Structure 1
């Protein structure tokens, strides 16, 4: 206790109220004086046009790419070697670079990540723009 009837001994309790007051004032000062750090994010928003696009193209049939648990890759349900994927993707992009098919990737839960990484690297090297991940609940 801070107030004791025994006056012969020194008071052993520390009064922390002034310390708490000083800490709160310092906290408020640091919060007010600290500059707000903001990182600008560049977003390319579509611009308003007066006329609609002429003859919108029908999107091509999507490419279904499946990776099973053993690491085998299937291009539209036909087995394909991983080293052939980039060439096949380049051929698809070369048909019409402005209207590419969507690459729909479906991976087994037990598939190794390295196989998926190779598929994604091949898609990036082939300049594929539309890549999606599909989850089949079987």
Structure 2
């Protein structure tokens, strides 16, 4: 028997590419899952007659039961909300906004957010609710 003295000139990169693709897939899923907003207990509402606001440029404003406001999961004050929405509107004039308020939130906080949105001239506004059981 003769010993195999051949050198291996090529490297099999298929397992490495598979690993990179799996890591890329995990990264994509985790980044899109974290953009949904702050968890709140939405109030119950009737059937919707309007079309849903979707799209990559949609902004979510959340008011939780402690009265804290968040713009796309980033905590802001009402003044910071106004300035950030104004800068976003200058780059995307037809930007839709969804306001998500916890069912235990004081109504005045939601009205303050709606006042800011109205003052900036944002016309595509939605109020998020849960469907009635």
TM-score using structure 1 length = 0.51
Alignment of 1:80 with 2:76, yes or no, is yes
For 1:95 and 1:89, locate their aligned partners in 2 and report how far apart those are by CA, in whole Å: 10
Unaligned residue ranges in structure 2 (runs of 5+): 1-54
The Cα RMSD (Å) is: 1.6
The equivalent residue for 2:101 is: 107
With a CA cutoff of 8 Å and minimum separation of 6, indicate the structure with the bigger relative contact order.
2
The equivalent position to 2:128 in structure 1, one of 126, 134, 137, is 134
1:101 counterpart SS class: coil
Deviation at 1:88, TM superposition (A): 1.3
Equivalent pair of 1:104/1:134 in contact (CA under 8 Å) = yes
Change (3 A) 1:130 1:86: same
Alignment of 1:116 with 2:104, yes or no, is no
For 2:70 and 2:64, locate their aligned partners in 1 and report how far apart those are by CA, in whole Å: 8
For 1:134 and 1:76, locate their aligned partners in 2 and report how far apart those are by CA, in whole Å: 14
Unaligned residue ranges in structure 1 (runs of 5+): 1-58
The equivalent residue for 1:89 is: 85
* Higher-Rg member (1/2): 1
Deviations for 1:59-79, whole angstroms, at most 9, x for unmatched residues?
Answer: 542101111001100110111
- 1:17-36 → structure 2 map (5 Å cutoff): none
For 1:88 and 1:78, locate their aligned partners in 2 and report how far apart those are by CA, in whole Å: 11
TM-score using structure 2 length = 0.53
* Runs of 4+ residues over 6 Å off in structure 1: none
